[in-house]
Amino acid sequence: MSRCDIGNPPFGHFGEAAIRKWAKDSFNKHREKAGICGNPFIKRDFEYFDGNPQGLRTIMHLHNERDKNGLNLTYQTLLACIKYPTLSDNNDVSNKKLGYFATEEEDIGEAYKYLSIEMHKRYPLSYIVEAADDIAYTLSDIGDGIEKRMITISEFYEAFHEHWGVNYKGISPPLIGDIEKKENNDIYFFQLSIELTRAMMESATTSYIEKHDEVFNGTASDLFKNTEYKAVIKTINKVARTRLYQSHAAERIELSGYAIITGLLNHFSCLLVLTREEFDLLIDPEAQPINKDFDLERRVFNQLSLKTVKCYKYWIEA
């Protein structure tokens, strides 16, 4: 599993887009009522919501409702998970994805300080994690599309060479042009996956060694930049984007997902506009609300998982 999969919402990137759009539309509307909306950094965390920092938040704090440290991972492991060492209060956040949320800023700062690394510099092992992501996912979506009969192997092969020819005319693509292709032969795709994975691992290893100083300074680009496999990754992603992600079947699912996530957020938003004291009344089953009708809020609150409530109670009591 990818380090970022842990924090991905349902429906992937389109789910992230639904959360960001909802936050930008709704937080301003409830600014005066909800304490979370009044915190500019936490507000921006939602407005720039991304699966990467949410995954980090999960493994650091949300995984274990009995331990503030979540999985209690080492500083090295935590920093290796941060591909974009950017916080939502950075002026250039609009041009980058977030690396971590404001809720994790203090702990991440401690990790950087302990390891004597300058803030907002990438940790060396994060380059390896990033390369592993690229290797693992380069053909995974294509493989899923073939399995779901959204694209055939021969159609992938032809689409790849069509896009490759437009952008890299006169250059032979590594491996994909070398392995013998037979019409819709599963062995071809299986062989291609194995060979491409092996070749990309060797390329990343070589690149890591060649860029050793830049990697340790946190100033290197990704390990596949300026290699032939960067072009392969871009071309395969282009095929996936045009032949899979933009298919009617995929877009229907995404549009349904967008509506589902937006609807759920609207449904639970009545809890966001409560004051801290009002929300705490919902946590205590013996408490009686004062001068307020909590019938709706209490029923919505009861839909939250017990683990979520335990995490919240641990944090306010810690």
- pLDDT of 193-238, one tens digit each? 899 999 999 999 999 999 999 999 988 989 999 899 999 999 999 9
Query: 124-168: per-residue pLDDT in tens?
Result: 999 999 999 999 988 899 999 888 888 888 889 889 999 998 988
Cβ–Cβ under 8 Å, residues 71 and 64? yes
Query: 60-69: per-residue pLDDT in tens?
Result: 887 766 666 7
State both tokens at 240: 């996936």
Identify the pLDDT of residue 67: 64
Number of helices (H), then strands (E), belonging to the chain: the values are 16, 0
Query: 157-203: per-residue pLDDT in tens?
Result: 889 999 998 988 878 888 776 555 655 567 778 888 899 999 999 99
Neighbouring C-beta atoms of residue 81, cutoff 10 Å: 23
Residues 78-89, mean pLDDT to the nearest whole number: 84
Identify the pLDDT of residue 191: 84
Only one residue has tokens 């936490």, namely 42
Identify the pLDDT of residue 237: 93
d(CA 242, CA 286): 56
d(CA 100, CA 110): 13
State both tokens at 157: 């092969």
Cβ–Cβ under 8 Å, residues 103 and 60? no
Cβ–Cβ under 8 Å, residues 98 and 45? yes
30 or 276, which is more confident? 276
Q: What is the largest CA-CA distance in the chain?
A: 75
Q: Mean pLDDT over all residues of the chain?
A: 83
Identify the pLDDT of residue 1: 44
- For the chain, which domains are there? 1-121 (no CATH), 124-249 (1.10.3410.10), 274-318 (no CATH)
